[in-house]
Amino acid sequence: SQQGEEDPQALSIQEGENATMNCSYKTSINNLQWYRQNSGRGLVHLILIRSNEREKHSGRLRVTLDTSKKSSSLLITASRAADTASYFCATVLTGANSKLTFGKGITLSVRP
* Shortest spacing between CB 17 and another protein, in angstroms: 26
Interface with another protein, residue 13, by CB under 8 A: no
What are the Cα distances from residue 16, in Å, to 13, 39, 77, 78, 111? 9, 21, 8, 4, 9
The span from the CA of 72 to the CA of 66, in Å, is: 6
Residue 111 neighbours by CB under 8 Å, 6+ apart: 12, 13, 14, 15, 81
Q: Which is nearer to another protein, 69 or 99 (CB)?
A: 99
The span from the CA of 69 to the CA of 99, in Å, is: 22
- Candidate ranges 10-18, 56-64, 68-76, 90-98; the one touching another protein (CB under 8 A): 90-98
**Residue 15 vs 61, nearer CB to another protein:** 61
Interactions with another protein, residue window 41-60 (CB under 8 A): 41-45, 48
Taking the complex as a whole, the smallest distance from the CB of residue 25 to another protein amounts, in Å, to 13
Which residues of the chain form contacts with another protein (CB under 8 A)?
1-2, 30-31, 33, 35, 40-45, 48, 88, 92, 96-105
